[in-house]
A and B are shown apart, each in its own frame.
Chain A
Amino acid sequence: MLYQRLFAASLLLACLCLGVIAWGFHAPFSYEPVGPRAYPLMLLILLGLGALVLLIKPALESSPSDEPALTKPMLIKVAICLALLLALASLFESLGFVPSAILFALGMARLFGGRWLPSVVLAVVLGTSLYFLFDRILDVPLPLGVLAGLEI
């Protein structure tokens, strides 16, 4: 319930901020009666009203959820998973696809409970085979990064 309220409140706040930003949208010259401002403002007003309803009466729609409650070890796992994703995104170009994907797959496999040796094998197979599948066969250019010198 608290989380529902918290979310509704931050949604309302976001609506207000975005509303202030949207108020500034102004077309320098325009050929049509409706400018770029009206439609987003209309949406924000409706969205704000919805958030207000959820803020005032959160009990209206929160059924006892069947999702398991977030525990501390779970939160840590989620944080590690996000860190891995962020690491993949930031190393994608600088380190190149193959090494970053291998490191990422190794981390994910371990996180989801794989044992060391199978995880390493899986990571190497995934990293290299997906590179060849997408870059060579499907023509999706992927960055080579540090392996660029190898000219595979």
Chain B
Amino acid sequence: MDTLQYLGQGFDVALSPNNLVTALAGTTIGTIVGLLPGLGPINGVALLIPVAFALGLPPETALILLASVYLGCEYGGRISSILLNIPGEASAVMTTLDGYPLARQGKAGVALSISAWSSFIGGMIATVGVIVFAPLLAKWAVSFGPAEYFMLMVFAIVCLAGMAGDKPVKTAVAVLIGLMLSCVGIDANSGVYRFTFGSLGLSDGIQFVVLVLGLFSISEILMLLERTHHGQTALKTSGRMLFNLKEGSSVLATNLRCGVLGFIFGVLPGAGATLASAVSYMSEKKLAGDSGRFGDGDLRGLAAPETANSASACGSMIPMLTLGIPGSGTTAVMLGALTLYNITPGPLLFQNQPEIVWGLIASLFVANIILIVMNIPMIKLFTRILSVPNWTLVPAIAIITSIGVYAVHATTFDLFLMIAIGIFGYLLRKLDFPLSALLLGFILGDMMESNLRRALSISNGDLGILFSSPIAIGLWALVAAMIALPFWRRYRAKRSAKLANA
């Protein structure tokens, strides 16, 4: 049992006093960021990258910090959904459907504790999944050559667009814009300046931190400006804080089902927490049939998206760690942070730096436990943070963002670039393009191009290498299936519309 031995090593890393304090700080910060309306895990993780650098944290500690912030955000997102009916981020939208009605019925305490419990179970199921599947996948992935890697990234991108539901073309366009942005700068292979327009600041390429903070922080500030008008007051949490045994056992089956479902969605590249929570809510609603009161305060309707949500957050660590391909916007940011530390995630990471991988996996366990222990007694404190007004929050976020960007190169050029990217991101959001797709494209861009060129160098320019191995052919088949998915969905929707009319 190599795995158990490695896991033991991982716990040694995760339970060292420094890392334990880091995990505690990370989960607290994450919960607070997650519950502030408009700020999600991507903002939280991105803002902390410069801080992690400045503190001089070693890579495994930095990664533990970012991962615990991520999990904390998924926890915190539910507080504002349940009490304010405002989801802190996209993946918490489903939580509002049954959480807010419960809070209005005076069961806010029960709703909060049962959703915390659901998140915990989901996170635990997915962490076990990570322990079982990540080493297997890593062993298998060692045999991937550049051609297979290229195809895998094509699959990740197509998957993102195919799963996007109602707007595959917009998602694809957003990914392509991200891929284009990653081309800016000196071409590493030939030394040619690409798309720099003679600017020195761009010759190094667009810095990852600049892009993320511009895209998510600046555009979020502009979005908050619009929403700042209508204030809403949080519902009081009164009465019983803890759910009782009967309520707990009534959602247990839901927890288990949705935990597995969420984990699978987390592993799929590009699917992510938003989709996982939506699908699990819908399937639970179907399963419950007429017996459910989904939509006006069914506990199962609250447990389903919450479980899936945090299960997919943990599950999305698998493709990031084993393949170096992020499964969600937040893991894309974490991947970027790793490359800043000169660590290339991928199958070799398991062999070369097991302390980082297993330390991270063990810290997922630790963070989940910290979160459930912290959340139930401290709920009252967290709900008070909800009343921090925007006028104090936004200037602080904006200044910290600027410091983070300035710290990269110590030039103000990056600040201007960040603002330009922020305006662009704001426009894209207004026009309903998914920004996390753009970010994923930007992260994958470099790897995708270098793998394609390496593959073609091996074959001396023969495109046949992209079809040569069974893995590559299998990936082509998956790509074709993903491209067909939106068309099939549209066909089915049309047919059912016709049947309804007839």
Binding site for B on A (CB under 8 A): 3-4, 7, 11, 18, 21-22, 25-27, 30, 32-36, 39-40, 43-44, 46-47, 50-51, 53-54, 60-63, 65, 67-68, 70, 74, 77-78, 81-82, 85-86, 88-90, 92-93, 97, 101, 104-105, 108-114, 118-119, 122-123, 126-127, 130, 134, 138-142
Contacts and interface: CB of A to CB of B under 8 A. Distances in A.
A33 B391 contact: no
A94 to B, nearest CB: 9
Interface stretch (B125-133, B273-281, B313-321, B426-434): B426-434
B1 interface: no
Nearest to B193: A25
B396 interface: yes
Given A27-B191, A112-B390, A140-B54, A43 B225 contact: no
A11 B173 contact: yes
B190 A30 contact: yes
Given A27-B192, A34-B452, A62 B390 contact: no
A25 B194 contact: yes
25 contacts: A27-B190, A27-B191, A32-B453, A39-B183, A46-B176, A47-B180, A50-B169, A61-B166, A67-B432, A74-B226, A81-B221, A81-B225, A88-B415, A92-B412, A104-B399, A110-B391, A111-B225, A112-B395, A113-B390, A122-B391, A122-B392, A123-B395, A130-B396, A130-B400, A134-B407
B183 A43 contact: yes
Given A33-B456, A34-B452, A113-B228, A104 B177 contact: no
A84 to B, nearest CB: 8
A36 B192 contact: yes
A86 B194 CA distance: 27
B217 to A, nearest CB: 11
A145 to B, nearest CB: 12
Given A50-B176, A92-B415, A32 B457 contact: yes
A110 B170 CA distance: 36
A53 B169 CA distance: 8
